Structure 1
Amino acid sequence: MSKGEQRLFHHALPGTSKDNEEWVQRKNRVVRHFLHSSVYMGTYYKLHNTDILQKSGLDPAQYATHGGAFPIIVRNTGVVGTVTVSGLPQREDHAFVVSMLRRFLNMEL
């Protein structure tokens, strides 16, 4: 979990590596830049037959439009940070964050 560029919480499970940390940073950059989830932006580019470099001029080595990063939005304030997961296939990263946010917000379906 991050607030802007500041890391507030980080937990690495066995089997993760520095690569996962780099994925987290790349996904977070997407969220901070576009104020949408990373999977939203990946889906947007796919639907428009383009990518982050062609459409936005952003280096894909620095920005990852793969699932797993979400903006933390506070009503009447806007985006205040991100929550991000890396280590599973991107759709599973996305689904994991969604399930944890629902649980946190007591919105379990």
Structure 2
Amino acid sequence: MNIEQLETELILPDFTNDNALELGLIIINHAKAQNVPVGILIERNNVPIFNFLMDGTSKEYIQWLYRKKMIVDHYNKSSAFIAARFSPKEIASEVNWLISPLESQVLGGSLPLCIKNVGMVRSITVASTSGILDHEYVIEGVRQFIHLHED
């Protein structure tokens, strides 16, 4: 399954601040089980509603979270989709021409949060040591959250 198709399947039924806490904790528990420290940022309409740095992270993780989130904010697509869509040369010229490389990072780990019958309301972002791993944690967390809230 390609990244874009996966994104269209990860539609949330609803999303409250309490849901952000629940989703954040799902990802934290998944990361703990893998013994990987992560930082997590969940926003709704550009307002942080969940932010957490696990032990073993540093203040640089905050910068990574916001830089990845900037890609989702600009393209309304996951940072993994944009990383797969553009070659490194295109990222260096086209993407960085549109968004400052000091303010963005084209690596996996940030996903638009879309609500059924509403659309994108913002993003969830994970930062660890690998954009690929970060994307997997976000996808797994959202899948588990959706599964828990299925009718």
Aligned residues: 105
TM-align CA RMSD: 1.7
- Which gives a bigger RCO, structure 1 or 2 (Cα 8 Å, sep 6+)? 2
Gaps of 5+ in 2: 1-41
Matched, 1:68 2:118: no
Q: Would you identify which runs of 4 or more consecutive aligned residues in structure 1 move more than 2 Å? A: none
Measure, in 1, the Cα distance between the counterparts of 2:145 and 2:69.
20
Bigger strand share? 2
- Please state how far the C-alpha of 1:4 moved relative to its aligned partner: 2.9
The residue number in structure 1 matching 2:90 is 50
Measure, in 1, the Cα distance between the counterparts of 2:93 and 2:52.
34
**TM-score, length-normalised on structure 2?**
0.65
1:1-40 alignment to 2 at 5 Å?
1-40=42-81
Percent identity between matched residues is: 25
- Please state how far the C-alpha of 1:21 moved relative to its aligned partner: 0.5
Q: Which amino acid aligns with 1:13?
A: M
Larger radius of gyration: 2
Secondary structure (helix, strand or coil) at the match of 2:127 reads coil
Q: Identify the range of structure 1 (71-80 vs 53-62) with the bigger mean alpha-carbon deviation.
A: 53-62
